[in-house]
Amino acid sequence: LALKRMSVRKDYRGLGIATALGRTALAFARQRGCRAVVLNTLMLQHEARALYERLGFRRHRHYVLPTTYGRLANCTITTYRYDLSGSP
């Protein structure tokens, strides 16, 4: 399962909403027999990266955005993966 976008409005952050959304996405994927959940995030999204790591996602791949701008700005993307195999 690829998690494409997850966002909580700034004035509602810090209330556990993103954690609940992340856990719900993992449960959804698990119930449907997915082997893993993957997502991409930019290097600048520190809070999002911390959330994914707290939820148990592991850094899977790290690369520079393959565009002219990406190479010039050194825009780095991190792919995270949460393996569901063997989990309850």
Confidence bin at 34 (pLDDT 50/70/90): very high
Class level of CATH domain 6-83: alpha beta
| For residues 53-79, average pLDDT | 83
| For residues 7-24, average pLDDT | 94
What pLDDT was estimated at residue 86?
Answer: 64
Confidence bin at 79 (pLDDT 50/70/90): very high
Question: Distance between CA 48 and CA 37 in Å, rounded?
Answer: 15
Of 83, 85, 87, 72, the closest CA to residue 37 belongs to 83
What pLDDT was estimated at residue 87?
Answer: 53
pTM of this prediction? Answer: 0.81
Helices (H), 10-61: 17-31, 46-55
